[in-house]
């Protein structure tokens, strides 16, 4: 059995510090600004919501900036080869956020934009809850909450076995922190000093039965992760500049610790009339409101100097 005592020591496999010299994400050199990526992720998601007349659109709008930075700044991957061994892994633990990840995968060219029309339909590759077997680029089947981070621990261990410098990102949510399995994974990741594992927590303070903070006390969340031995950052998850800095820090910081970026996000971000709607896990949107929401989004983007 290996002895792991000193959390300050570097691991024997490629460290984050060494990785800092390697090129950034696949799209890092793109001249499409990240705000435009985020705008289009939101737009794709709204169009999918319109197809079904429903969907976890508030979560998708809220997490769009995180996904934009992840896919178009941080991640190394090949849109035409989703199983490429050299890719950074992105695990969507919160399966119901699939609508958001599909939007990012469409924007990245992994999925064709034409499949928006099939979202949630019989025979579609884009089911309501994300599953690996259905969708190219969907690494795991999420949905049974509390799984993604632990699977990430195993993949991070597996990558170290292979002396790979790939990173594992896992996106989970504040409500998901209720699951005990998350904390087993939090302890395991710290014990094994998984500096190739980056957790992303979406803190939107909403879960099925109400505000997450009212259902199970969450705070002080950063201190909790710190106490468990993680490298912790907490950012405004709708601030692209702050997210870029946080992802860069998480990738390159030298500590032999797993990293967490706690992202405080706003539900339905970018569509004010939905932002202010009564808070709900499954936001009600009337049939005529989808196009109205897209219109609001378009107007705001162009007003801010978008293309």
Interface with another protein in residues 80-109 (CB under 8 A): none
Reference 38, options 100, 110, 114, 127; nearest CA is: 100
Instruction: Determine, following the binding rule CB under 8 A, whether residue 30 of this chain makes contact with another protein.
Output: no
Between residue 1 and residue 20, which ones bind another protein under the rule CB under 8 A?
1-2
Q: Does 133 bind another protein (CB under 8 A)?
A: yes
Residue 86 phi, psi dihedral angles, 5° rounding: -85, 10
Q: Whole-angstrom Cα distance, residue 261 to residue 263? A: 6
By CB under 8 A, which span of 48-56, 60-68, 147-155, 227-235 interacts with another protein? Answer: 147-155
Closest to 198 (Cα-Cα) out of 145, 253, 237: 253
The residue among 141 and 206 lying less far from another protein, judged by its C-beta, is: 141
How buried is residue 23: exposed, middle or buried, by Cβ count under 10 Å (0-12/13-18/19+)?
exposed
Residues 157 to 186 in contact with another protein, rule: CB under 8 A: 157-159, 161-162, 180-181, 184-185
Q: Which residue has the tokens 């992760």?
A: 225
Nearest distance from C-beta of residue 83 to another protein, angstroms? 11
Is the previous residue joined to 220 through a cis bond, with omega within 30 degrees of 0? yes
Long-range contacts of 275-284 (CB under 8 A, 24+ apart): 279/206, 279/211, 280/58, 280/206, 281/56, 281/206, 281/207, 281/208, 281/209, 282/54, 282/56, 283/56, 283/57, 283/58
Q: Among 61, 74, 116, 151, which residue sits at the site for another protein (rule: CB under 8 A)?
A: 151
Chain CA centroid to CA 224, Å: 20
* 190-209 footprint of another protein as x/- string (CB under 8 A): -x------------------
- C-beta of 191: minimal distance to another protein in Å? 7
Nearest distance from C-beta of residue 266 to another protein, angstroms: 30
Among 18, 20, 22, 144, binds another protein (CB under 8 A): 144
Q: Which stretch binds another protein (CB under 8 A): 33-41, 155-163, 256-264, 273-281?
A: 155-163
Burial class (CB in 10 A: 0-12, 13-18, 19+), 287: exposed
Of the residues 108, 111, 155, 243, which one makes contact with another protein according to CB under 8 A: 155
Q: Which of 60, 92, 100, 140 binds another protein (CB under 8 A)?
A: 140
Closest to another protein by CB, 2 vs 307, is 2
Q: Rank residues 60 and 168 by Cβ distance to another protein and give the closer one.
A: 168
Q: Do 252 and 165 touch, CB atoms closer than 8 A?
A: no
Q: Does residue 143 bind another protein (CB under 8 A)?
A: yes
Query: Site for another protein (CB under 8 A): which residue of 62, 120, 146, 258?
Result: 146
Produce one character per residue of 243-279: b if its CB has 16 or more CB atoms within 10 Å, e if not.
bbebbeebbebebbbbbbbbbbbbbbbbbeebeebee
Residue 90 is inside which H or E element, if any?
Answer: strand 89-92
Q: Which parts of this chain interact with another protein (CB under 8 A)?
A: 1-2, 132-133, 139-141, 143-144, 146-147, 149-159, 161-162, 180-181, 184-185, 187-188, 191
């Amino acid at each position: 059995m290996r002895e792991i005592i000193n959390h300050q020591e570097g691991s024997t496999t490629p460290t984050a510090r060494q990785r800092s010299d390697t090129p950034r994400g696949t799209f890092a050199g793109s001249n499409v600004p990240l705000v435009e990526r985020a705008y289009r992720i939101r737009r794709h998601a709204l169009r999918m919501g319109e197809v079904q007349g429903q969907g976890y659109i508030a979560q998708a709008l809220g997490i769009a900036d995180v996904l934009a930075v992840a896919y178009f700044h941080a991640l190394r991957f090949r849109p035409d080869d989703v199983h490429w061994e050299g890719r950074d892994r992105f695990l969507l633990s919160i399966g119901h956020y699939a609508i958001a990840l599909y939007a990012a995968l469409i924007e990245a060219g992994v999925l064709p934009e034409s499949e928006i029309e099939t979202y949630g339909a019989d025979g579609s590759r884009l089911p309501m809850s994300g599953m690996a077997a259905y969708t190219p680029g969907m690494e795991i089947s999420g949905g049974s909450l509390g799984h993604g981070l632990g699977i990430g621990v195993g993949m991070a261990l597996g990558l170290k076995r292979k002396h790979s410098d790939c990173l594992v990102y896992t996106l989970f949510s504040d409500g998901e922190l209720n699951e005990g399995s998350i904390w087993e994974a939090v302890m395991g990741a710290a014990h094994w000093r998984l500096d190739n594992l980056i957790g992303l927590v979406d803190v939107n303070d909403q879960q099925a039965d109400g505000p997450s903070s009212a259902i199970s006390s969450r705070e002080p969340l950063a201190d909790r992760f710190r106490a468990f031995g993680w490298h912790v950052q907490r950012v405004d998850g709708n601030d692209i500049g702050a997210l870029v800095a946080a992802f860069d820090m998480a990738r390159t910081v030298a500590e032999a610790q797993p990293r967490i970026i706690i992202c405080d996000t706003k539900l339905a971000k970018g569509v004010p009339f939905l932002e202010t709607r009564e808070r709900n896990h499954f936001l009600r949107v009337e049939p005529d409101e989808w196009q109205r929401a897209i219109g609001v989004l378009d107007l705001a983007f162009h007003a801010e100097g978008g293309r």
